[in-house]
Amino acid sequence: MEKLAELAIEAMNHAYVPYSGYKVGAALLCADGTVYQGCNIENASYTPTVCAERTAFFKAVYDGHREFTAIAVCGGKDGVITGPFPPCGVCRQVMREFCGDDFIIYLVGAEGSIEALTLAQLLPHSFCAKEHMN
């Protein structure tokens, strides 16, 4: 868990954030132990901006991964972590596409604090293809 947090913090350095200045980093742990890092990538048109969590997921899915254990996320203005940076709703829904209720989201805060939450806690009563599109 500490290693995953370190990789999320490192990923913040890759962020492209000329508009908000908020650098966000994510480290996604696949079921086979592989880790994918992601950062947020902003756009002058704003809407196409992609969050760090989705960058990590899409990199992993492109490489063929479909099962995931946990993700560590951190972020802050100019890369300075001042508190937990919880995943946005869109990213939670992307997690739901591939992950069950027990998927763990580690919120990496200031001074090394780490809070662990499950996807069930972050996205209750969620819409899931496996359950609702049969």
Question: Does residue number 80 form part of the binding site for ligand THU (CB under 6 A)?
Answer: no
Please identify, among the stretches 49-57, 64-72, 105-113, 115-123, the one whose residues bind ligand THU according to the rule CB under 6 A: 49-57
Q: Which of 28, 36, 42, 106 binds ligand THU (CB under 6 A)?
A: 42
- Answer left, alpha or beta for residue 48, where phi above 0 means left and psi between -120 and 50 means alpha: alpha
Question: For residue 68, how far is the Cα from the chain centroid?
Answer: 12
Q: Which of 20, 69, 93, 118 binds ligand THU (CB under 6 A)?
A: 20
Rounded-to-5 percentages of helix, strand, coil across the chain = 35, 30, 40
Residue 7 CB, shortest distance to ligand THU, in Å, is 15
